[in-house]
Amino acid sequence: MESPVSHAGGEEPEARTPVVSSGTNLVAGSQSSSRSRLWRPAAQRNLRNQWSRLVSCRGRWVSASSEGRASATALVNAYLSRRYMPEMNLGVLKDMPMIRENACEKLERKQELCQRKLLSSYKDLVDAVSQFTKARDSMRCYLKGSSASPLVQFSQLSQDNDDPGDGGGVPVFTSWALPYFEKLAQELIDMFAVEISLKRLIVLQLLSIACQDAQGAQADERNWSIELYEGEFNDLNTVDLLCRERFQPNPPRIRGFQSNNPATEQINRNPTRETLHVYLTAWISDVNVDIMRVDEIFGMVEDEMQLKLS
Amino acid sequence: MESLVRKYQQKYRKVEGEMKRWDELQSRLLSHFGSASSIIDRLEVLREKKNYGGLTCVDGVKEALLGKQLETLERIFSTMKDILKQFQSIVVSLDKISKDGSQLSKSESTPSSCRMKIGIKPSLAECVEGLKMIHEMHQSEYLLKVSLISALTWNTSSREIAGLNQFLADQPNISKDEVQGIFGVIFAEEN
């Protein structure tokens, strides 16, 4: 039977807690070891749930990202077709009255529709990442009620400041203490959150593509420090992407690069074909997400839990 | 004699299986080649700082995007090399079938009976020749593919790529008509 030996550096999976049977303080020892005995299954169950949640959030990310890609591509195509409409060779159709105007109008509606869809995919992405953080914040397992009570129950909410919810640092499954699971979840969040900020910039650029001069005024108002949808900043706050002093999103950056450049105000309303190509490439690349590492993390967790997460 | 022909027909069935595998590999190769060439096109756009528009302000974005694309390209190259290896294994297998075929005729018949035809059944010489031809076509085609794929690098121009792709898709060394003709002779009775 393991006793709750707290050990420094509980985040290191290598630092295994030796399984010691504490016999020095019989009363406290037996009481705490029975609590620990009950704590582990509860903590295991909870961690399994939270990590399954992470797996499904990742799936949501992937599908939102690919929907976003489809909308962005359609948007770009609609915009380019409209832009090249005046020079387009329409063959026998060229004499039809209003044909170019009608086609342009239709393409413009298409563009607007795609912009709305793209925005909703972006919202889904933000939502997926904020679910990530919720899972990370629900990994601990706290004792519920008084410790004197014969009935031992557990909860994900802390009720007692003395209870860190980590079972005193014992290995939850095989060898990792609870904080290590949180650390891995955080590593995932860091990657996806940075990617959100880059995607936000792409969305901002694509939403700002000129529709018609008349409607331009509305599009003009878009810039980095204005919410793209209602409640966006709240969501960004949950994933730590909001600069609280200035109440605007942190500037977009690439993982591994320090971005001090806040010049995100450059909005190009008439981007070239090549620039749009770069935007689309940037969208699909997920440059801030190291897929191999993500797979590795989920794989490691599965090994530690000895089960397949789904 | 008749049983000998039947043995050859079995060999041709095996050849058929290998050629089916070849076709599957061919379509996989073409699709990877297509992805590689669109990445190579994209690299040209990504290399120009002026194309980054609103993303220019993000430090490292160019390096990161180029890096990611090159990584993917590298992966595609290695997959294509893998596919080439499988093509090679087909060539080796066709070679073996063809060699076994000529061995069979040498050990089980005389030079004069070799050219003998009974009814619409193929002569042994025809059986042997056909296997040899099919092997040779695929071997030359394999060598062509190796040189086409090795000509594709990250700085190949789009025009060159289009040319390479044309050759890769056409498979000029494999004449479908000829192959069909050979099979027609070997399985004449069944038609």
Percent of chain B with pLDDT over 90: 76
* H-helix segments, A208-272: 213-220, 232-238
Q: How confident is the model at residue A11 (pLDDT cuts 50, 70, 90)?
A: very low
In chain A, % of residues over pLDDT 70: 79
Could you tell me the two tokens for A202? 């792409």
Q: List Cβ neighbours of A190 (8 Å cut-off, separation of 6 or more).
A: A255
Q: How many domains does chain B have?
A: 1
Q: At what angle do helices A178-207 and A273-285 cross, to 10 degrees?
A: 160
Both tokens of residue B38?
């669109």
**What value does the mean pLDDT take over residues B133-161?**
94
How far apart CA B182 and CA B133 sit, in angstroms, is 9
Helices vs strands, H then E, count in chain A: 7, 4
Per DSSP, B123 falls in state P
Instruction: Give the ipTM of the model, two decimals please.
Output: 0.76
Name beta bridge partners: A158.
Answer: none
In this prediction, residue A160 carries a pLDDT of 67
- Domain with B53 in it: 2-190
Answer for the pair A60, A132: CB distance below 8 angstroms, yes or no. Answer: no
Give 3-state DSSP helix, strand, coil % of chain B, rounded to 5.
85, 0, 15
Q: Can you tell me which residue has the tokens 């050859």? A: B8
Q: What are phi and psi of A170, to 5 degrees?
A: -70, 155
Q: Is residue A221 part of a domain?
A: yes
Tally of structural domains, chain A: 1
**Residue A39 covered by a domain:** no
Asked if the structure places residue A297 within a domain, the reply is: yes
Rounded to whole angstroms, the Cα distance separating B191 from B189 reads 6
DSSP symbol at A87: G
CB contact under 8 A, B54 and A252: no
Position A71 in a domain: yes
- Output the 3-class SS for A186-213: HHHHHHHHHHHHHHHHHHHHHHCCCCCH
pLDDT of residue B45 exceeding 60: yes
pLDDT exceeds 60 at position A16 = no
As a whole number, the mean pLDDT across chain A is: 82
Substitution target from B40, B55, B69, B158 for chain A, most A beta carbons within 10 A: B55
Test A258 with B68 for CB contact under 8 angstroms.
no
Contact A282 B57 (CB under 8 A): no
- The strand pairing partners of A249, in sequence order, are A242
Contacts of A261 in chain B (CB under 8 A): 57-59
**Helix %, strand %, coil % for chain A, to 5?**
60, 5, 40
Residue B32 scores a pLDDT above 50: yes
Mean pLDDT over B69-98 rounds to 96
Q: What whole-number distance in Å separates Cα of residue A77 and Cα of residue B18?
A: 43
| Burial readout B172-189 (b: 16 or more C-beta within 10 A, e: otherwise) | eebeeeebeebbeebeee
Nearest chain B Cα distance for residue A120, angstroms: 21
CA B46 to chain centre: 33
pLDDT at A283 over 90: yes
Q: Give residue A1's pLDDT.
A: 41
CATH of the domain at B27: 1.20.1050
pLDDT in tens, A227-250: 999 999 999 998 888 888 888 888
| Residues whose CB is less than 8 angstroms from the CB of residue B135 and which lie 6 or more positions away in sequence, other chains included | B91, B94, B95, B97, B98
E runs forming strands in A47-156 = 142-144, 153-155
Please give the full DSSP string across B54-79, using - where no structure is assigned.
GGTTSTTHHHHHHHHHHHHHHHHHHH
C-alpha gyration radius of chain B: 23
B53 touches chain A (CB under 8 A): yes
Query: Are A200 and A37 within 8 A, CB to CB?
Result: no
Measured between alpha carbons, how far apart are the two ends of chain A, in Å?
30
Confidence at residue A181, expressed as pLDDT on a 0 to 100 scale: 94
In a domain, A310, yes or no: no
Query: Alpha-carbon distance A169 to B104, whole Å?
Result: 74
Decide if A10 is inside a domain: no
Q: What is the DSSP letter of B16?
A: H
What residues in chain A have their Cβ under 8 A from chain B's Cβ atoms? Answer: 198, 201-202, 204-205, 251-254, 256-264, 266-268, 271-272, 274-275, 277-279, 281-282, 285, 287-288
Rounded to 5 degrees, what angle do the CA atoms B128, B133, B139 make?
Answer: 130
Q: What is the mean pLDDT of residues B68-86?
A: 96
**A243 min Cα distance to partner chain B (Å):** 17
Range of the domain at A289: 54-305
Query: A30 lies in a domain?
Result: no
Phi and psi of B11, rounded to 5°? -60, -40
